[in-house]
Amino acid sequence: MTTPPNPPTPAPTASPWPRRIGWSLWAALPVAALAFHLSAGEPLTQRDRAADLLAKAQPLATSQEAEDLRAAADLLAQARALLPAQSAQRHTLALQEARLRAEGGQLVEAQSALTDLLADPAFPTDLAPLARAELAAASYHLAWALRLEGAPEDEWRPESDTARRHQRLLAETTADPAAAAEHRENLETIIRFEQLTDDELRAQAPPKACQNCNNPSQSKRQQKLSKSPSKKPSDARQDIQKGASDAAKRGEGS
């Protein structure tokens, strides 16, 4: 009887991002439940409208389709806008909105929103670990998407560094042993990802959020440009030309 050949040794892999912690914690914050726990001091009509939007978001938030997840995030954003600035639910909705955007492939937008939440002095401390875990995941998936798109290392490496930094902090500060072990596993996933060659990376099945992400390099560059205080040279030239034209019309030019 012929002995079957040994199976080939698999290439090193960056295993899919473990989501067990995230999903177990988020189970305590279902979207639909928020519709029934809005602050009593909010105007009834505003509260009812927000509740209606959250009810519409609930089935979309559990969908596997990127378009549905993004639509759910939009509905949460609309509901959040209806709540007073002091409402305790605003931060929870913003956090869930960012998660849905990340799952729907809007990684750059989710990363920016989560960074702003963590920098907000009013952001509840009990939600900070959730936001940090989501930011680590979004940054990891963004690094994946950038590499798949062929971005140079100086573009994807900062995203991976962000993911690693936040995941290490979670691993070092989480009191629950099981949760801390999950965070360490996530940290190891990031490190393995960074060690993969481009060929090894492309041989792996990308995380779903990466598959839904369209043109992340351009989105990231546009984000950096929008935050830059200086104008592009072309913008400066246009201003000069416009100024000369206006002066000529007023008879100030020669």
Residue 117 has pLDDT above 80, yes or no: yes
> Is the pLDDT at 1 greater than 80, yes or no?
no
Which pLDDT value is given to residue 81? 93
Cα gap 207→245, rounded to integer Å = 53
H or E element in which residue 28 lies: none
pLDDT for residue 20: 45
pTM (2 d.p.)? 0.75
5 phi and psi angles, rounded to 5 deg: -65, 155
pLDDT of residue 8: 45
Distances in Å between the alpha carbon of 248 and those of 237, 240, 251? 17, 12, 5
Give the per-residue pLDDT at 247: 43
CB count within 10 Å of CB 176 equals: 10
| pLDDT-derived band at 23, boundaries 50, 70, 90 | very low
Provide the pLDDT confidence category of residue 14 given band limits of 50, 70 and 90.
Answer: low
Q: d(Cα 89, Cα 104) in Å, to the nearest integer?
A: 22
Q: What is the mean pLDDT of the chain?
A: 79
Alpha-carbon span 79 to 49, nearest angstrom: 7
Residue 82 predicted with pLDDT over 50: yes
E strand map for the chain: none
Neighbouring CB atoms inside 10 A of 59's CB total: 12
What pLDDT was estimated at residue 2? 53
**Cβ contacts of 71 within 8 Å, gap of 6 or more:** 57, 60
Q: Which residue has the tokens 């519409």?
A: 56
Contact indicator for 174, 129 with CB cutoff of 8 Å? yes
State residue 65's pLDDT score. 92
Query: What's the Cα-to-Cα distance from 184 to each of 20, 189, 239, rounded to whole Å?
Result: 13, 9, 52
Confidence of residue 26 (pLDDT cuts 50, 70, 90): very low
